[in-house]
Chain A
Amino acid sequence: MSETRAPTPTERGGAGGESVRRFLARPAAPALAFLAVLLVAFTLANDRFLTASNLESIVDSVAVLGIIALAVNQVILCAEIDISTGSMLGLCAIAAGAVSLSTGGILLPLLAGVAVGALAGAINGALVTLGRIPAIIVTLGMLYALRGVILLVTGGTWITGVPEPTRFLGTGKVLGISVPVLILFGLFLVMELVNRHSTWGRNVFAVGGNRVAARFAGLPVNRVRFVAFTLVGVFVGIASMIYLGRAGSVQTNTGVGLELQAVAAVVIGGTSISGGRGSSLAALTGAVLIGVILNGLILMGVPGIWQDAVLGGLILLAVTTDVLRRRLVGDKA
């Protein structure tokens, strides 16, 4: 307590001091604590909750959300936002699904999904950086425009009968663990490494923390943000293959509402909406938290119509906790 230390990079928590305090200062700490409490509570309420298969099925069901949240996390870290991911997922799933109907296999549909996603993400990025349109407006407009594209392109018909091999990314198992879970954790590790060790990954925090200062420091602010938006598209493309596998077909309303859940996951997990503070662990925790809560609600028999209210309440709770925590800890991230 009487040690002096250099200003800490706030996203990594405090340096020095007890490791517990360091842990508590991590962005994801409150969410992890809340998750632990919930796991205990649900287990007490229903003994079927803590079985390995139920837990795996929870993580499995949030794989799509989690992967998208990992990427949206980067956008929010840049102090931007993306609420177009739901329509993006629908469009990518349709592209991947359509390709799988003619070519089968995994690679080509995956490439199709990722390509479409990357294109949509790039459009978002270009409009925000070059067009200088606020991200909330860009992604709001794209949310509707892409949904319109889905309806126009499909003419309302669904994609059904996706071949079995294509569905591997959604329903397969490797070494006994379900593939979506593996992909989710794999991408989580990748993003952690990127944020710690790559130039772009570190720049994201700088740009989000103080864009003007970052610009003066010579950082390629526009390029950093553009890459973040495009990354969302790529991850949505990957997630669409998982969706395709799990659902086996694509409807015109696939993905509706997902964009809100993705932002909720990131914010609830502990990444700050004002940018510059957060982590991939926060995004992952937030997604799992949402999955646990929704799963718990179903098990407790709470009617599905209350889901939105719960989600909204959680966002507000997370935001309030963040503000209170900042006031207590005293940093002005």
Chain B
Amino acid sequence: MSALVGTMRSLKFSRELVLLGVLIALIVVMTLLDPLFLTPITMLNTSRFFVEVGLMALGMTLIIITGGIDLSVGSNLALVSVAVGFSFAAGLPLPLAILFGLVVGVAAGLFNGLFITLLNVHPLVVTLGTLALFQGLAYGISKAQAVSDFPGWFAYFGQAYLGPIPGQLFIFVMAVAVVWVILSRTSFGRYVYAIGNNEEAARFSGVPIRKVKLALYSGIGLLVGMAAVIYTSRVYTARGDSGVGLELDVISAVVLGGASIYGGSGTIGGTVLGVLIIATLRNGLILAGVPSTWQLFVLGVLLLAAVFVNEFFRKGEE
């Protein structure tokens, strides 16, 4: 038993080392193509873009560990963005509007969670439905228009710098720390792994499965809300088409980071490295002058490659 645990530990450890190696290699390649890449300014600027995906990926990691998935995060972001912008435009003071947006995000996540736990419907189809539903609500409520006249201080969420470091990076680092503690140091975290490894056994062991899942889907809703506020602040506009397609980046980051899509394994460290790799790739490709038409293709293939390597060899070890 301890040998198994020992193997598992060294498994996780070496996987993250490899990811770190890949990240460094990528940075080297990008820098060779465009020497500007390695300047601190550029690196820090890159970090401004990945915070939103990163926050969502933190929540997605836990969900994927339990064997679930949430395809609706991108649309949820759009909905929160619209909620913030349009409630503000309708007269709500901005701080309350932001709070309202966060509430909407959590409510949307809870909506997913209820469908999944009470009705026992597979998360895949529920979140496929809510992907369309939230997107449609975002478009419909905003009537395809945008809100841009926010007061100056709103920009702090997405555009502020503390010294040379972008403000949202601090938020991200704190979120990483919190989620990491939850996952690896609390009983809640153990429950998450237990559900992912064998849900039936977990149920018999007394794990409060329903509550855990509800917490997970609402939790990612909160993270989506935070990401939405940062995103809206960064582009300074609330629109119904924000965040569309982000679920690809989020899921790719988690899977790249080593989580098994079938559940039972995954770490916050791996996910963070996954987020960094994708952000480096995206930003680096653009800086190197690669046309954006290639990015779609590259990212699609990357997702497939990452999961392939993940699953093909993992299964081989069983």
Q: Which residues of A are at the interface with B, using a C-beta cutoff of 8 A? A: 81, 83, 127, 131-134, 136-138, 140-149, 151-152, 156, 260, 263-264, 267, 273-274, 303, 305-313, 315-316, 319-320, 323
A14 CB to closest chain B CB, in angstroms? 23
Per-residue interface assignment for chain B, residues 304 to 318, with 1 indicating a CB less than 8 Å from any chain A CB and 0 otherwise = 100110011001000
Residue numbers in B under 8 Å from A145 (CB-CB) = 296-297, 300-301, 304
Tell me how far the C-beta of A333 lies from the nearest C-beta in chain B, rounded to whole angstroms.
13
**Contact flags (1/0) for B131-147 with A, using CB distance below 8 Å?**
11111110110011000
Contact A141 B136 (CB under 8 A): no
Task: Name the 4 nearest CB pairs between A and B, nearest first.
Answer: A309-B136, A148-B297, A312-B133, A145-B300
User: Cβ of B307 and Cβ of A312 under 8 Å apart?
Assistant: no
For window 94-147 of B, CB contacts with A under 8 Å fall at: 115, 119-122, 124-126, 128-137, 139-140, 143-144
CA distance A148 to B144 in the complex (A): 26
Which residues on the A side are within 8 Å of B302 (C-beta)?
A: 141
Report yes or no: A137 in contact with B300, Cβ–Cβ below 8 A.
no
The CA-CA distance from A83 to B134 in the complex, in Å, is 18
From 186 to 215 in chain B, residues with beta carbon under 8 angstroms from any chain A beta carbon are none
Per the bound structure, the CA–CA distance linking A154 and B119 in Å amounts to: 45
Asked if B136 and A310 sit within 8 Å, CB to CB, the answer is yes
Q: Contacts A148-B300, A323-B121 hold; do A127 and B308 have CB atoms under 8 A apart?
A: yes
CB-nearest residue of chain B to A324: B119
A312-B122 CB under 8 A given contacts A131-B312, A137-B303: no
> Least Cβ distance of B218 to chain A in Å?
18
Q: Is the CB of B124 within 8 A of A136?
A: yes
Contact flags B42-81 to A (C-beta < 8 A → 1, else 0)? 0000000000000000000000000001000000000000
Contact A316 B136 (CB under 8 A): no
Given A131-B308, A308-B132, is A273 in contact with B298 using a C-beta cutoff of 8 Å? no
**B293 contacts the other chain (CB 8 A):** yes
A319 to B315, CA, bound (A): 32
Q: List 15 A-B contacts (CB under 8 A).
A: A131-B312, A132-B315, A133-B308, A140-B248, A144-B300, A145-B296, A148-B297, A260-B128, A260-B132, A306-B136, A309-B135, A315-B129, A320-B121, A323-B119, A323-B121
The answer to whether B294 has its CB under 8 Å from any CB of chain A is yes
State A264–B136 Cα separation when bound (angstroms): 15
A143 to B245, CA, bound (A): 11
Once bound together, how far apart are the Cα atoms of A310 and B132, in whole Å?
8
- The DSSP consensus for interface residues of chain A is helix
- Chain B residue with minimal CB distance to A263? B128
Q: Which one of B133, B248, B255, B308 lies within 8 Å of A144 (CB-CB)?
A: B248
Report chain A residues within 8 Å CB of B303: 137, 140-141, 144
User: B84 within 8 Å of A by Cβ?
Assistant: no
Task: State whether B131 touches A142 (Cβ < 8 A).
Answer: no
The reply to whether B261 and A307 form a contact with Cβ atoms under 8 Å apart is no
Q: Output the nearest chain B residue to A147 by Cβ-Cβ distance.
A: B296
Chain B residues whose CB sits within 8 angstroms of the CB of A138 once the complex forms: 304, 307
- List chain B residues, Cβ under 8 A from A320: 115, 119, 121
Chain A residues with Cβ below 8 Å from B143 are 303, 305
Q: Are B261 and A274 in contact (CB under 8 A)?
A: no
Identify the B interface with A (CB < 8 A).
69, 115, 119-122, 124-126, 128-137, 139-140, 143-144, 240, 248, 251, 255, 261-262, 293-304, 307-308, 311-312, 315
Give every chain A residue within 8 A of B140 (Cβ-Cβ). Answer: 303, 305-306, 309
B296 to chain A, nearest CB (A): 3
A142 near B304 with CB under 8 A, answer yes
In this complex, what residue of A is CB-closest to B310?
A133
CB atoms of B300 and A141 under 8 A apart: yes
Q: A312–B137 Cα gap in the complex (Å)?
A: 10
| Chain B positions within 8 Å of A309 at CB level | 132-133, 135-137, 139-140
- Contacting pair B130 A316 (CB below 8 A): yes
Look across to chain B and name the residue whose beta carbon is closest to the beta carbon of A155.
B293
Q: Is the CB of B125 within 8 A of A132?
A: no
In the bound assembly, the distance between CA atoms of A274 and B121 in angstroms comes to 9
What CA separation (Å) do A308 and B121 show in the bound complex? 21
Residues of B within 8 A of A316 (CB): 115, 126, 129-130, 133
A305 CA to B132 CA, complexed, in Å: 11
Q: What is the CB-to-nearest-CB distance from A125 to chain B, in angstroms, rounded to a whole number?
A: 14
CB distance from B192 to the nearest CB of A (A): 19
List, in ascending order, chain B residues with CB within 8 A of A134's CB: 261-262, 307, 311
Of B122, B126, B139, the contact of A305 (CB 8 Å cutoff)? B139
With a cutoff of 8 Å between Cβ atoms, the chain A residues found around residue B296 in the complex are: 144-145, 147-148, 151
CB-based contact A319/B131 at 8 Å: no
Contact (Cβ within 8 A) B311 A308: no
CB distance from A160 to the nearest CB of B (A): 20
Which chain B residues border A273 with CB–CB below 8 Å?
A: 121-122, 124-125
Which chain B residues lie closer than 8 Å to A81 at the CB level?
124
